[in-house]
Amino acid sequence: MNELPSREGYLPFAGYRTWYRVTGESEDSGKLPVLCLHGGPGASWNHMEPYTELAAEGRRVICYDQLGCGNSAITAEHDPSMWTTELFVQEVSAVRDYFGLERCHVLGHSWGGMLGMAYAITRPAGLVSLIVESSPPSVPFWLTELARLRADLPAEVEEVLRRHEAAGTTDSEEYTRTMVVFYDRHVCRLRPYPDWLDRTFAAIDANPEVYHTMNGPSEFHVIGSLRDWSVIDRLDRVSAPTLLISGRHDEATPAVVQPFSDRIPDVRWQIFELSSHLPHIEETEVCLRTVAEFIASYD
């Protein structure tokens, strides 16, 4: 990856601090900044690192660790019930205000795409375009697709997973080791993982509270507060032009993504045939080109 100028720091939010990294120094004439929303919930910005290359076009790319995640971890005593979609929507607004992003593109991956969609539904001023990568508009329907994908796993793999989920021992080494079979098929099909993806998983392992509270113990066992989350009935409120990205082998299957395509007024969708849940990592060059061309058309 090219060396681009960047700076890091903290901004105040909700009585705590949100860590950020800005790549690029300013916008060239006719360019707008990109605000990136990482996945999880509870991950870190690291897996969004390939998108910092968009700054080479003459625009800033702003990434941040959402509150409670990565460099924005909270060490003071707090109530885990604070981790809600509404809190993180407010944080998007706080980041925009801090950097004076009067007009910008918003790009979210997985949970970040869900967050971006929840934000777009509020019709915020200056949201020029929205990019949603590998995200479900309805977690309940997504769970039915995850069950279908799990049914295709080797029987002995599914037996281990089900046994630990029933026993509440999903923190066991055997469960962690076995769930990788699903991840290899439907999360990231590259081996070895790129360094920035390893750092993202390490951030969740080091501080799993947000992930476990909102999602659950794994990508395919969603028992947290997001298990009933859906925005399907509000997608017609999204007024920003929207690009959908997903992988052919994605845990967010084409059937999961379809309602976005059906219900958002101004939308286009590209499925990456060699990718699962991380097209920007699994097919980096073509994915970044697709995003770059899309945002350039709305600058």
Catalytic, 280? Answer no
29: exposed, middle or buried (Cβ count in 10 Å: 0-12, 13-18, 19+): exposed
Instruction: Tokens for 146, please give them.
Output: 């995850």
Q: Which of 38, 186, 249, 277 is catalytic?
A: 277
Catalytic, 29? Answer no
C-beta neighbour count of 197 within 10 angstroms: 20
Three-state SS annotation for 132-179: EECCCCEHHHHHHHHHHHHHCCCHHHHHHHHHHHHHCCCCCHHHHHHH
Instruction: Tokens for 127, please give them.
Output: 């949201």
- Contact predicate 10/80, CB 8 Å: no
Task: Name, in order, each residue with C-beta under 8 angstroms of 81's C-beta and a sequence gap of 6 or more.
Answer: 213
C-beta neighbour count of 14 within 10 angstroms: 13
186: exposed, middle or buried (Cβ count in 10 Å: 0-12, 13-18, 19+): buried
Q: Which of 44, 72, 110, 134 is catalytic?
A: 110
Catalytic, 110? Answer yes
Chain centroid to CA 29: 29
Calpha distance 4→167 (Å, rounded): 48
3-class DSSP state for residue 238? coil
Q: Which of 109, 138, 186, 250 is catalytic?
A: 250
DSSP character string of 278-292: -HHHHTHHHHHHHHH
Write out the catalytic residue numbers: 110, 250, 277
